[in-house]
Amino acid sequence: MFPESIKISLSIEEVKEMEDAELPKGSSLDHARNIWLLSFYFVGMRSSDLLRWKWSYINKDRLIYKMGKNKKAGSLKIPLKASRILSNYNSKTEKK
């Protein structure tokens, strides 16, 4: 039997600190922070889904993908903050 898990969430200030942290651009810490923030901006999308997605999943201002765990289709509007992060990884992404 597994013990009941306790969910702990970050405060708005803690998320802001993560967003504003000065990290070497392109470092593993920078990439890890970006994955965490993308998961946060995409309302808790699993990191495994983020790591598997492709640029072809973007259709205009939406991310359309299939969840890896349950194969359920999802469509999420791409938040501005997520779009800014994504623009660092794809030169074809419009910079905002």
- The number of domains in the chain is 1
Give the pLDDT of residue 91: 64
Please report whether residue 51 resides in a domain.
yes
Q: Which domain holds residue 29?
A: 12-87
Q: 69 phi and psi, to 5 degrees?
A: -70, -45
Please report whether residue 58 resides in a domain.
yes
- Which of 26, 42, 37 is closest to 85 using CA atoms? 37
Please report whether residue 54 resides in a domain.
yes
Note down pLDDT in tens along the chain; length 96 residues: 778 888 788 899 999 999 999 999 999 999 999 999 999 999 888 888 888 888 998 998 999 887 777 878 878 899 999 999 999 887 654 444
Please report whether residue 95 resides in a domain.
no
Strand ranges inside the chain, DSSP E: 58-59, 62-66, 73-77
Give the pLDDT of residue 1: 75
Half-sphere exposure of residue 75: CA atoms within 13 angstroms, side-chain side = 4
Please report whether residue 66 resides in a domain.
yes
pLDDT digits (tens, 9 = 90+) for 10-20: 899 999 999 99
Please report whether residue 2 resides in a domain.
no
- DSSP designation for 68: T
Residue with tokens 């699993």: 46
Please report whether residue 1 resides in a domain.
no
